[in-house]
Amino acid sequence: MLIVLLNVVGLGVLCWALFTLAVHALPFFVSMIAGLYAYQNGMGPFGAIVVGFAAGSFTLVVGQYAFFVARSPVIRLVIGLLFALPAARAGYNATLGLAHIGVPSGWWREAFAIFGAIIVGCTAWARVSIPTGPAPGGGATLGPAQSPIGGRDQGRVTPRVRRLRVGTSREIRPSP
């Protein structure tokens, strides 16, 4: 029983890694090309890994930055498609490969593969288009921390918010 459970967990981890890699198909492709080029030009295995990691990270960061800086919807569409189309193709191939394991009908394999391509392509589009910033509540700030309810705002005092408790006429006053 334990062996079956470990097989299911291992298969789940491999599928997660496979589809996460499929979502990041463009940065992974750039990373592999840069790493192979560095290795063939004599940088050695460690240098090739470092160059590949740096190139893939740079591609992902520059792609997200360009997506947010671009004001034109056409440019944003092109940048999004640069990330989503290779991811959709990788998702298609990954799902088709997994469907060959357990689905006997060719039509159903293609249907699952197309569904996988759509899901992975949409996930890649979402990963590029949704901003990822630092987690709220931590990190350094450039100015003093200010309360969202009251406090000073550019030299003038903002009024405190007063709310009424539902069903009564008593005010809830925020603590100072």
Full 3-state SS string of 8-65: HHHHHHHHHHHHHHHHCHHHHHHHHHHHHHHHHCCCHHHHHHHHHHHHHHHHHHHHHH
pLDDT at 6 over 90: no
Beta-strand pair 156-158/171-172: unpaired
With b for 16 or more beta-carbon neighbours within 10 A and e for fewer, the 142-152 pattern comes to: eeeeeeeeeee
Q: Nearest-CA neighbor of 54 among 42, 62, 64, 44? A: 62
* H-helix or E-strand spanning residue 83: helix 73-102
Q: Where are the domains of the chain?
A: 11-129
pLDDT at 31 over 90: yes
pLDDT digits (tens, 9 = 90+) for 99-111: 888 888 889 999 9
Strand extents, DSSP E, 68-159? 151-153, 156-158
pLDDT digits (tens, 9 = 90+) for 76-121: 889 889 989 998 998 899 889 888 888 888 899 999 899 989 988 8
* Residues in a beta bridge with 151: 158
